[in-house]
Amino acid sequence: MSAIAKPKMYILDVTNRDGVQTSRICLSKLEKTMINMYLNQMGVAQSEFGFPVTHHETNYLNANLELAEKGVLEPIFLSGWLRATRDDVKTSFKQVPKLKYVNLSISTSDQMIVHKFKGKLDHTSVIDEMVEAVKLSKKHGAELVGVNAEDASRTRMDYLIEFSLAAKDAGADRIRYCDTLGCDSPFTIYDRIKLLAESVQLPIEVHCHNDLGLVVANSIAGAKAALDCGVDAYINTCVNGMGERAGNADLVSVILAIKYANGLSGKYALDEKTDLKVAWKIGKYASYAFGVPIPINQPGVGANAFAHESGIHADGALKDRKNYELYDFEELGRGEPEIIETGRKITAGEYSGIKGFRNVYEKLEVEFKDDAHATEILELVRYANVHSQKPLVDDELKFIAKYPDIARKIFTMTP
């Protein structure tokens, strides 16, 4: 008789969906693609990679699904976010026909049903609308459907359970508990998700916001409740804690908490594919792409995360790092010196010529078959610079040279 698998915590990163909803900032489609690449390297289970109903996302979404088919973006799941309506489902699968993973979202709190829908939907029709969307998604070939209860933290528990059971009966695979306003505490979210998980017996996605500064604690407490009830938990994160208003749960902080917090470390299983060695790289890249500096006191990746000045602390850390460091910097991919050129530098941009361009790629040890091949990649790099409106990093240049056809689709938008 085989042993029953213990439930685990998985990371479902929403940088490319909720992160890009951060007011006043955005990512280019190339930058979103690179974040998917880094998340895959990091062993993150799922990336909510965009909005399949949004026309300017269409080519990017289809191109990334093509990368998944080629085995480049694998094993990560790429999931689309849409409203739980028949129209959104129809449009999504029409524009992104190879979509396999979706999250359908609808508001469930009295506050939003009354004061957001303004009579267009009531409690019964919210469930009816969601059920139809789930069934239609499955009919279109969705292999995994998550149902998002927006504002779950302010939703009456009896209604949240009724809503979630209806989703399960319709064929939903997971329920997303959304603390949309960040008003939960670790104590309330634990109790509420425990009751929800016990009642519904589906994996729970935990989506929290940082309006009260509790986002990581709430995310971990909610996930712990799910595991305590014997179901998997999928914690929604954003790289560097980006997201609407005060942000979402920071990707690296969540992983560090599961691995090292008292009462969690060794007791609760984290998806074994998760690899923190990519933390430094993805944190720096997202900071550059978003144009938002990493706070110096950011866990794991901040400039001061391993810095010691106080005499007592410095002395203790030098004697044994475990005196004042909970985890090792090497585990996060830190420690290697970073070389900054201070002499002549040839860069690749929207007005580059072929000689300077070839010099840039020679330093990256990328060879071209001939001048025609080099000219083709140069043209794409020019478009990429216009597309991103900032100089390209080495990994972006390498990506364009390796996957020119994918890059061309990513840069193409038809109004």
pLDDT reported for residue 2: 46
The whole-angstrom separation of Cα 139 and Cα 154 is: 32
| Assigned token pair, 352 | 């580059």
Q: Dihedral of the CA atoms 325, 326, 332, 335 (nearest 10)?
A: 20
| CA-wise closest residue to 151 among 111, 123, 195 | 111
Residues 6 or more apart in contact with residue 116 via CB below 8 angstroms: 107
pLDDT reported for residue 1: 43
Contact 203, 172 (CB under 8 A): no
| Secondary structure of the chain as H, E, C letters | CCCCCCCEEEEEECCCCCHHHCCCCCCCHHHHHHHHHHHHHCCCCEEEEECCCCHHHHHHHHHHHHHHHCCCCCCCEEEEEEECCHHHHHHHHHHCCCCCEEEEEEECCHHHHHHCCCCCCCHHHHHHHHHHHHHHHHHCCCCEEEEEEECHHHCCHHHHHHHHHHHHHHCCCEEEEEECCCCCCHHHHHHHHHHHHHHHCCCEEEEEECCCCCHHHHHHHHHHHHHHCCCCEEEEEEHHHCCCCCCECEHHHHHHHHHHCCCCCCCCEECCCCCHHHHHHHHHHHHHHHCCCCCCCCCCCCCCCCCCCCHHHHHHHHHCHHHCCCCCHHHHCCCCCCCCCCCCCCCCCCCCCHHHHHHHHHHCCCCCCCHHHHHHHHHHHHHHHHHHCCCCCHHHHHHHHHCHHHHHHHHCCCC
Question: Cα angle at 248 between 61 and 394, to 5 degrees?
Answer: 50
Cα of first residue to Cα of last residue in the chain, in angstroms, is: 58
Is pTM beyond 0.85? Reply is: yes
Report the amino acid identity of residue 315. Answer: D
Q: Looking at the chain, how many residues does it have?
A: 415
Q: Dihedral of the CA atoms 67, 70, 75, 76 (nearest 10)?
A: 10
Taking the CA atoms of 177, 181, 186 and 191 in sequence, report the sign of the dihedral they define: negative
The whole-angstrom separation of Cα 250 and Cα 294 is: 11
Instruction: State residue 410 phi and psi, 5-degree precision.
Output: -60, -40
The whole-angstrom separation of Cα 362 and Cα 360 is: 6
| Rg, C-alpha atoms of the chain | 23
The whole-angstrom separation of Cα 27 and Cα 409 is: 16
Contact 243, 299 (CB under 8 A): no
Residue 147 CB neighbours (<10 A): 30
Report the amino acid identity of residue 106. Answer: I
Contact 380, 22 (CB under 8 A): no
| Assigned token pair, 211 | 């309006």
pLDDT reported for residue 3: 55
pLDDT by residue, tens only, the chain of 415 residues = 445 689 999 999 999 999 999 988 899 999 999 999 999 999 999 999 999 999 999 999 999 999 999 999 999 999 999 999 999 999 999 999 999 999 999 999 999 999 999 889 999 999 999 999 999 999 999 999 999 999 999 999 999 999 999 999 999 999 999 999 999 999 999 999 999 999 999 999 999 999 999 999 999 999 999 999 999 999 999 999 999 999 999 999 999 999 999 999 889 999 999 999 999 999 999 999 999 999 999 999 999 998 887 777 676 777 778 887 899 999 999 998 888 888 877 777 777 788 888 888 988 999 998 889 999 999 999 999 999 999 999 999 999 999 999 999 999 988 8
